[in-house]
Each structure stands twice: as C-alpha cells, then as structure tokens.
Structure 1
Amino acid sequence: MASVGLLFVGAVLFINGVMLLGWIDARSAAPMNFFVGGLQIITPLYLIFTADGDADVVLAASGLFLFSFTYLYVAVNLTWDLDGTGLGYFCLFVAITALVFSVLNFTRFADPAFGVIWLHWAFLWSLFFVLLGRRRDGIGRYTGAVCAIQGWVTAWIPALLLLTGVYAEIGVPLAIGLAIFGVVVYAALVPWARRQRSAPPTPAPAGEHVPA
C-alpha cells in the first residue's frame, strides 16, 4: 500500500516542480496536493492500525505523514493564497526529520536505496525552507527543477520497482546510482538556474497569462 502512495508522491512532486518553473498556474496544482495529501494520511493510518504492534512498521509509516502534511499545507496555501513562511519553516522541520529517516534506513531497516532517497528528500525540503521560509525567490527555478526531477527519480521509479517486485534485487546498485545521480544532476542544475535567472523574459502572446 505504501508503494501505491509513493507512486502518486511522484505525481505531486512533478506537478509542484513544474508549477515553480512557471509551466502551470499555481492554483491548478492545489487539487493534486489535496488528493495525494489525503492519500498519504489514509495510507500510514492503515499501516499503523494493521501493524499488530510491530514497532518498525509504525516507525516507517510515521514518516509518510511528513509528506501528507506538506502537501496539504501546500494545497491550503495555494487555494487561499496564504503567506508561505510558515510552510517554509515546516519544511525545515521535515528536512531535519528526513535526515533521521535516512540514517534509520541505512541502519535499522538495512535499506540503502531509501537511505539515499531520504537524503534527496531532505535536500528538497531544505530548498523549500530557503525559498519560502527565508524568502530567497532566486532559487525558485532551481527548486522547481529539483522537485520535478525527484518526482520521477525518488518516487515514480522506486514505486514501480517495488510494485513489480524488482526492488529487492537491485537495492545496493540502486543506492549507488541514486547517490551519483543526485550529486551530478543537482550540481549541473546550478549554472542552468543561473542562466535562467539572467535570461530576459519571453513576452507572452496577446491574451495569454504566464504564471509567475
């Protein structure tokens, strides 16, 4: 069940990323955040209620609430056009907690691939803290690109591997690949984002609105 939720985490990360890139209007991203935020509340509650006292299952399921509350917070902010600083500081809390879950996956759960994936997510939530909590609008496109890419790399692909039963066979190679990918791609996005910031805006055709 958690794998199904992860699949749709990929969708909402992609949608939020392209929103930050200015490809879609901000409010049009709100429904997907509501949908996946709700799903990510139902999923961990089911896992906890059916855990039969298994502490590891409860611990792993508790991390899913970090996603549900983030997406619901985003959805509420987008729908009612609220100030984003509160969400930004919540993302700081989540980023720190994600580092703990990364360590737990490397040690207690013996799952190095998700240990690396949690590091990816900690980095993304840190970017949202800087963007929203510290109001550093200059990293908006960079954050959007990282978010959109993570939707595929840290959620969609692992979810499909889990759902098809392939994940257990390639855990260590996947961890190494994800670590290398993160370092190379996120570093390469820095000069790209700087060029995007310095490039003159493309004029919109008459009658069309380009989201900020």
Structure 2
Amino acid sequence: MGHVGLLYVGAVLFVNGLMLLGTVSGKSAAAMNLFVGGMQVVFPTLIILQSGGDPAAVLGASGLYLFGFTYLYVAWNQLTGASGEGLGWFSLFVAACAVVYGILQFTEFDDPVFGMIWFSWAVLWFLFFLVLARGKDSLTRRTGWFTLLLGIFTGAVPAMLLLTGSYVTGAIEGAVAAVIGVVLLGLAWVLGKPAAVQSQEVPVER
C-alpha cells in the first residue's frame, strides 16, 4: 500500500470510529470518506496504468480498491440515508479478500508485519458485516473503538515509519504486530462494552 495512502486510511478509520461511537455525525464523516475513497480509487488506477503489466505492481495496487470502494460506500450511505445491509455484505467480501492479501504478504512479499495488519483489517471488516448486515447492534461501540484504534496503529503509525524510512519487518516484528492486534481488539472490547441497563424500580411506600 502506498505510504501516503496508508496515512489517510488511518485518518478515515479514525473518523469512522468516532462516527460509530456517536462523536462525529454521519454527514460530517462522509466528507473524509469521499476524499480518501476517491484517492484510493484514483491512485491504484494510476499505478496499474503505469506498471507496464508488472504482476507484482498490479497485485499490490489491487487491494487499494477494497478500501476505496468501502469508503465511497460509507459516504453514499451517510449522504443518502441508505440502509447498511449492502455495505455489510460487501464488508464480508472485503474481509475474505483481506485474509488472502494477508497470506500473500507472507508468501509473496516477505512482510509478516503487513500480513498481520491485513489480518487485523479482516477482523475489522468482519465486524462491519456483523453490525451492518446481521444487525448486531451490541457490537457497534466495540467496532467503533476497534476502527479508531486500527486507524492509529495500522494506518498512521506504520505510514509514518514507512515515510521516514524507519519501517522494519520480519518474524519478530510480525509476532509483535500480532500481539498488538490482539491487544487492540481486547481493548476495544472493554472500552466498547454496552452500558448496563439500570432497572427502574418504582419505590414502594411503607
């Protein structure tokens, strides 16, 4: 994934996480989804057109469309008031593709860190499927927190490392990335725990 594009993937995930948490309105979040979604469609198209048919370049660019179409779909839903079922089922498709791209990071690109990042994205998009297509509203806040945290730790942080030439990958770094992914999911589960419904008892006069 392009270093610059990854930075703004982090930004839009952060904003969408806040939207799911109810901090940012849907229409406010739609703008960022349009900007980044458009970029994540234009950039891979340019890469493919300039690749000269290089299979590695085409493969590397192809995954960007999954993000671009997701963000444009989010913007469409927020601006039109469309229901989320279609986006939810598309998210299931994206989750399955993300697993494949994660495996390819290990087998084709020798990049365990991004392999684990793709796996964490697969979990995220599967949560979108559960919330939007299967109506699991109890997972909304947990999905919001996971989206926000992944925006920071799988978007902004690795992008900055790549842009500054500080990115390192390998078996140890991949194991660390896996642990971080599990910790972030656990943290999101705790932070997004639905508030307990307090029983409203009518006081009995004595």
TM-based fold match above 0.5: yes
Instruction: State the 1:124 CA deviation.
Output: 0.3
8 Å Cα contact 2:5-2:39 kept in structure 1 = yes
Shift of 1:185: 2.7
The structure with the larger Rg is 2
- 1:29 equivalenced with 2:29 (yes/no): yes
Alpha-carbon offset, residue 171 of structure 1: 4.4
One-letter identity of the residue aligned with 1:154: T
- Runs of 4+ in structure 1 off by over 3 angstroms are 169-174
Q: State the match for 2:201 in structure 1.
A: none
CA shift at 1:54, angstroms?
1.0
* Residue segments in structure 1 that go unaligned for 5+ positions in a row: 201-212
CA contact (8 A) 2:143 2:188 kept: no
Cα distance, 1:151 vs. partner? Answer: 0.4
Match of 1:177 in 2: 176
* Residue 195 of structure 2, aligned match among 193, 197, 201: 197
Question: Deviation per CA, 1:49-90, whole angstroms, max 9, x where unpaired?
Answer: 111221011011000000000000000000011010000000
1:80-116 superposed Cα distances (whole Å, 9 cap, x missing partner)? 1101000000000000000000000011111111100
Secondary structure at the counterpart of residue 51 of structure 2: coil
Matches within 5 A, 1:6-85: 6-85=6-85
Choose 47-56 or 86-95, whichever is displaced more.
47-56
The aligned amino acid for 2:158 is: P
In structure 1, distance between residues paired with 2:116 and 2:83: 32
- Coordinate RMSD, CA, aligned: 1.5
Tell whether the 8 Å contact from 1:101 to 1:115 is kept in structure 2 after alignment. yes
Percent identity reads 48
Q: Is the 8 A contact 2:18 2:144 kept in 1?
A: yes
Deviations 1:136-176 (A, max 9, x none): 11100000000000001001111111111111x34444322
Q: TM-score, normalization: structure 2?
A: 0.91
Equivalent residues in 2 for 1:137-148, closer than 5 Å: 137-148=137-148
Alpha-carbon distance in structure 2 between the residues aligned to 1:2 and 1:185 = 24
Instruction: For residues 8-62 of structure 1, give each alpha carbon's deviation from its aligned partner in whole angstroms, at most 9, with x where no partner exists.
Output: 0000000000110111112110000000000001110111111122101101100
Question: TM-score, normalised on structure 1?
Answer: 0.89
